[in-house]
Amino acid sequence: MCFDCFGFPNIGNSCYMNSCLQTFLSLQDFMSDISCQEDLWSSVPGAQLLRRFTDIKDCRESEDYSVKLGHLCTFKNTFAMYAPDYNDEEEKDAHEFLTLLLDQFQMMSPELQMTAALLGESYTCPVEGHFVFHMENVRTCKSCGAETSHQKFTSLSLDLVVEGSIMDMLEASLQEKVLEFKCGCGGTTSGLKSSHDLRSFPTVVH
C-alpha cells in the first residue's frame, strides 16, 4: 500500500482540521465504533456531520486529491453550520476544533438514541466510550462564594512547564486559576480549581 495517498490537501489554512481528522482516523477502536452503527446514523437527518466524517474516512486511501478536496470542503461547510466561526479560511486552533467536533458528535446522541429505541436497538456514543473522563472542576465566585461544578470532560489542557515533566504540567493544571466571569451577584472574578481525583480515564489521550 502506498502511504503517500493518506495525505489531505489544504483547502485554505486547514492544517488544524486535517491534523485532527488524521488523528481521529488513526484511532481504530473509535472508528470501528462509528462504523458498526452506520445503519442507524446514516438514516438520521441530524447525523449529517457523522456522514460527512465517514465520507472522509472512505476516501482516505484514494490517490485522487480532487475527491478528497470535495469531501473536505463538504465536511468543513457542514461543521460550520454548527460552528459559524469556521465558515472562513482563517487559521484556527487545532485543539479548539477537536473539542468542538467531539461536542457535536456527543450532541447527536439524544436523537440517535431515540431512533435506535424506536427500532428496538441501542446507540452508544463513540465519544463517550473513548474520550470522556470524569473529574471535578469547581468555579467559585470571589464575591459571593457561589460554586458551579463541572465533572465530565473530553480533554485536559496543559500549559508547558519549563524543563518540567507531564506530571509537573498536570500538577500545575490543578492549581486554582483566577478568571473573569460575571456572577448573578454582580461579581466579575471567579476562581477555577480542579480536583486531584480523576474518577475515570479515557481510552484515548490527546
Structure confidence by residue, pLDDT tens digits, 5-54: 578 999 989 999 999 999 999 999 999 999 999 989 888 988 999 999 99
For residue 159 the three cell numbers come to: 500549559
What CA–CA distance (Å, rounded) separates 25 from 53? 10
Yes or no: say if 64 and 86 are a contact pair by the CB < 8 Å rule.
Answer: no
Residues 6+ apart with CB under 8 A from 44: 108, 111, 112, 115
pLDDT band of residue 161 (cuts 50, 70, 90) is confident
Q: What percent of the chain has pLDDT over 70?
A: 91
Q: Could you tell me the domains of the chain?
A: 3-128 (3.90.70.10), 132-198 (no CATH)
Whether pTM exceeds 0.85: no
- Single-letter code of the amino acid located at 59: C
